[in-house]
Amino acid sequence: MFVEEGTASWYGVPFHGRRAADGEIFDMNSLVAAHRTLPFGSILRVTNLNNGRDVQVRVIDRGPFVGDRILDLARAAAVALDMIGTGTAPVRIELLSGSNPAVGDFTVQIGAFTDRGNAERLRDRLLPRYQPIFIQDYDAPTGHFYRVRVGRVPSPDAAQQLAAQLKESDGFQTFVMRLDQPADFGIK
């Protein structure tokens, strides 16, 4: 059984009404969440470790992309966990149903740029040492970003090892990500 503990945050406006990573429209008033590696459609029980409240959510999006956070919850889920005011809370995530989280393709995100040229320069600098390197377009409420992702490996553990290597050798802040869709595998 997959269990993870860490910090959760929540998101709402300005993401409300925008397309989530799985293709559906994000509704901040629904019980959905963003996780970097769990398969889309996974059902999770999320427990606020500060107060014992729990809620079930469905993974539809990728994120969070902030430091040590492990989950972004839609506003409705954050209300259910009584974490709106604090913005974050320590949580336990339990996978209730969904595909095997250890099966799939994984990559490591090392940067996100508003200028495609910067993303391409980083890719070109790393290509002699790492392959493949993907640049993925992402329309965020705050602008258009080009995410730079390194590697395509068959397990979360292998991706964590790659992330540690990239952090140690090059000083990158890294995020392990699941590659979900064909567009994730190629450069746009």
The predicted pLDDT at position 140 comes to: 80
| pTM exceeding 0.85 | yes
Domain boundary (47, 74, 97) is at: 97
Nearest one of 49, 50, 48, 35 to 2, comparing CA atoms: 35
- Which pLDDT value is given to residue 82? 97
Tell me, yes or no, whether 152 and 86 share the same domain: no
CA distances (Å), 135 to each of 14, 22, 36, 122, in order? Answer: 24, 18, 17, 10
* pLDDT confidence of residue 47: 98
Say which CATH number the domain at 140 has: 3.30.70.1070
Q: Mark whether 19 and 53 lie in a shared domain.
A: yes
- Are 82 and 136 within one domain? no
User: Is 8 in the same domain as 92?
Assistant: yes
Give 113-154 pLDDT, tens digit per residue: 999 999 999 999 999 999 999 999 988 878 899 999 999 999
Q: Where residue 181 falls among pLDDT bands split at 50, 70, 90?
A: low
Here the tokens at position 59 are 């993974």
CATH number at residue 30: 2.40.40.10
Q: Residue 158's domain spans which residues?
A: 105-185
Q: For the chain, how many structural domains are there in total?
A: 2
Domain end among 97, 114, 131 = 97
